[in-house]
Every structure is written in structure tokens, then in C-alpha cells.
Chain A
């Protein structure tokens, strides 16, 4: 189950995209999703698709990973596409039955929605595959910094995110271990009716919660023993650096935006 999840994994590499600053990647990712909604004709969608595939090619990671990232969400995507295709009216109507109608507008809209979904997933996969969780946390902490003025506990949030990220694989491993131990004691997962399936969750969740409490206690003790005090000002060991390639990335995004706006107006 865990093995199939590609989204959120990191693939070590040396590509141009890997070397980009995490902050650039994060901001660029959100920016890309934003400008995706500027597109309103086929030319702009082609441009965006080409751009996405160029970025994917630059990462040097096999396409298979990206396709796999889309797979778990494919039903959601198809459902949305279907809704769009069936309920949008206008243009030539090919087929209609009651409130449902397949029209040329509907089909085009469906394709647009599909492309939008896939591009968003591809781009976010690019970010998570090429950035270590640590870098990502640092980037989030940096981006949140201005909110300090609004009395937001940015340092604490960053710490919680980094601890959470650090313990995801550990907890996954723990879950796997406990599931195996309970299976050896005669629990069958994924069998029986809904009520029976709910019941077998208890022997996993309780040990998992208990071990999380213990882990949290140990971690807090260890942190305090090493001089951690939440409210004190700290220095940082890991410092992110902007390079020339980040500037290039920013320029490319500006160019892309200009092209999109031009296509939209024309």
C-alpha cells in the first residue's frame, strides 16, 4: 500500500531542477498552479503542457514515476471530467438525454479540466521528487517568515513540520511492523464486512498511538537535554542559498506568464 505512493517521495539526483533552491521551487510551483488558470484556449494549454514536459525532462527522472503519481487520483479526475462533459451546454450538441448532454463545449471543457489536473499533479510531483523534505521545511519556514508580524509562531510551526516529516517513514515502518505482528496473531485485514474491517483497525491504532506518545515523550526529553528552549532565539545550521539558476527559473516563469497573457488576449 505504502509502496505505491510516489507522491511525496524524494529521488536523489544532480539535475538542474534538483539544484534549484527549495524556496524557488515551492514558490514557482504555486505560481505555476496560479497561471494555469490564465489559460483559456488550446494554444495556451499546449504551451503549458510543453513547458511541464520540458521541466520533467530536465529532472532526469523517468516518466513512469509521474504517471504513477497520477494513478491514485485517476478516478477523481475522470469523475470531474465526466461531470464537466455532461453538464456543460453550448456549441454543437452531439447527444442529449434529459439534463445530460454531450456538446462540443462540454468535451473541450472536459479536456481542459483533465489537462489542468494532470499538469498540477505533475508539477507538484516534480517538486516533491527533487527536493528533500528537509529543504522543503526550510523553504516553508522562510516563506512563512513575514507572518511573524501577525504573531504567528513561525518557528514552532516549522519545527512541527520538520518533526512530522521526519517521523512519517518511521511511523509507516512501525505501522507495517504492527500489522504484521497482528496478522501473525490471526487478524485478517481487508476481509469481511465494513464493521469487521473497522474492528481490526483497533489492534493497529492503539499500539501506534501508544508508541507515538512514548516517542514524543522521548523526543521532548532528548531535545530539552540538548538545550532546546522554544521561545529563545536560535541560529540556523542549514542555510538556503539563491544561485543564478534560480534567477533563470524566475525569468522563464515571467516569460511564460507573458506568453499566456498574450495568448489570452489575442
Chain B
């Protein structure tokens, strides 16, 4: 599902004394099947932009095109449920949305709302619970007796069970331990590959943006500052530091290494493997032959 933003603007509480502008002149295109990361400082409009992706917020200016659905500012919208079925959003701290008596019921909640038959919904629940790295036994337990990390996974499973074409993730790993972070990010990457999902990730972690995204949207003060590949973005770190953002540790290390040893690598490395590959020729023979 292709997603296009054309000159999109959004005001909270429009025409009231508390009016605040969150987005202006946003032009972005997200291709079907791509992995896009949205980064930016706190309050740069990332989350507002994200809520336009399944019409939780409607633009106050401009046009948002979601697949074959065109949402123009100021038009009355009907039948948004069809759209929300295709775009699954995992909000920040999604464990706060759990409410049913059992994990199974909670996972089935989304599909049932979208008219999936009960048997099918239960079958989906059994499938997604394994996908998120939990076991089937957990399905019969109450979501409120699980650990924080397990609750997070159940909440994510609830979104995946809707079988969306577009998966939108708002800092899915915030507050998790390093292992849990990595597992969940790997899980999303695997889903992206195997199911051909269009994935949009809002994140503060430059590592995640560098490792997983094909395209990075950099936001500043409610507008899109730059759209580029992670390599382009992190090759010019000055812009990021100006905005108070950092570069991944790998890139940081590479810059210092290059300065210290007065060498220049062929490319900006985004992962440790790439970095090792670039460093080996510059190291002593003993290490290189290892």
C-alpha cells in the first residue's frame, strides 16, 4: 500500500484559543513494502504524522493518500474502519491497551471488530502468539498477570492478528531491556521480509534506524527536514548534531578511528559487520590474517 503525503498540515484544537500547529507542508512518499524510519527531536511532529497513517487524525491542510483512499483536508470521512484494518499501529507502551479476561480474547478483539469469524480469529491468535515469541499456553491466562515484556508482546500480537498490510510502530521497544529490544526489532524485521509488510518505525534509537530502515525521514518543528537513506543521513552527521540528535555508535567510532589514524573508509558503516570489513585492511597483518 503506497502512502503519500502532499502539503499536509495539522493543527490541534483548530479555531480555539488553544490552537497549536503540529505539522506543516509535509511531503513524504512511503512505497509499498518499504521500511521507513521517522526520526526527530521530541515534539517534532513524529507521532502526529504517524496518526495520519490510519486516519486517527485527519489533516487540516493538504492531502493524504493511503492506497486507493484519498483523504483531503476538510472533507467528511466515512468508512475509516476499512482503512484501519489495513494499517496496524503499535502505539508507545501498547500494553496499556489490554483489557480482556484472557490473552486469547484480547488478541481476537481486533480481528473480531473487523468482521473476522471467531474460529479464524482464534487460529490467528495461536499463530501470532508464536510469532511474537510466546507460547500457546499463555493464551488462556489473564493479560494482567504477565510481566511487562510479555504484556508488550501480547499487545503487539493483538495488532498483528489484524493481518495489516502496513505496520506502524511508535517506539515499540521503549522501556524494554536490551535483549527484549533486539528480539522485538528482529521480529519486526522478519515480518517485514516474510510478509512483505510496509513498515513505518518512529524511533529515537539511531541504531535501529541505521540497522533496519531503507529510508529515513528526518523531522524538525513539524516539517520534513530531509528524506534519505540511512547511509546518506549518517554520512553527514552535522545536521543531526545541530538538531540535537546523535549518530549510531558504529558511525561515531568510525569517525574517531578515521581521524586518529588519518584514513578514510570507502563508505559510512551502519553495522558492526560492515565496520569490521572496512577496518581489517587498515589493521596490522597479524590481525588481518586471523
Contact = CB atoms under 8 A, between A and B. Distances in A.
A203 B109 CA distance: 10
A210 B110 contact: no
Given A3-B16, A186-B81, A203 B91 contact: no
A25 B98 CA distance: 44
Interface string A170-198: 00001001101111111110000000000
Contacts of B17: 62, 64-65
Interface string B103-145: 0000001100110000000000000000000000000000010
A202 interface: yes
Contacts of B265: none
B158 A177 contact: no
B96 A186 contact: no
B159 interface: yes
A182 B97 contact: yes
Interface in B69-102: 81, 84-85, 87-89, 91, 94, 96-99
Interface in A206-249: 206-207, 210-211
A203 B113 CA distance: 12
Nearest to B87: A184
Interface residues of B, number: 28
B56 A183 contact: yes
B162 interface: yes
A173 to B, nearest CB: 11
B109 A185 contact: yes
Contacts of B88: 184
Contacts of B56: 180, 183-184
Nearest to A4: B16
A188 B113 CA distance: 9
Nearest to A210: B144
A187 B99 CA distance: 13
A203 B99 contact: yes
Nearest to B110: A185
B113 A186 contact: yes
Contact of B81 (A62, A181, A188, A211): A188
B61 to A, nearest CB: 19
A84 B98 CA distance: 50
Most buried by B among A181, A182, A187: A181
B96 A211 contact: yes
A184 B13 CA distance: 21
B113 A181 contact: no
Contacts of A62: 17
Nearest to B56: A180
A233 to B, nearest CB: 39
Given A183-B84, A184-B56, A184-B84, A178 B144 contact: no
Contact of B51 (A180, A182, A207): A180
A178 B99 CA distance: 10
Nearest to A183: B56
Interface string B5-39: 00000001100111000000000000000000000
Contacts of B51: 180
A64 B254 CA distance: 58
Given A178-B96, A185-B84, A186-B114, 10 more contacts: A3-B13, A177-B91, A177-B96, A180-B56, A181-B97, A184-B88, A184-B91, A185-B109, A185-B159, A206-B99
Interface of A: 3-4, 62, 64-65, 174, 177-178, 180-188, 202-203, 206-207, 210-211
17 contacts: A3-B13, A3-B16, A62-B17, A64-B17, A177-B96, A181-B91, A181-B94, A183-B56, A184-B54, A184-B56, A184-B84, A184-B91, A185-B158, A185-B159, A206-B99, A207-B99, A210-B144
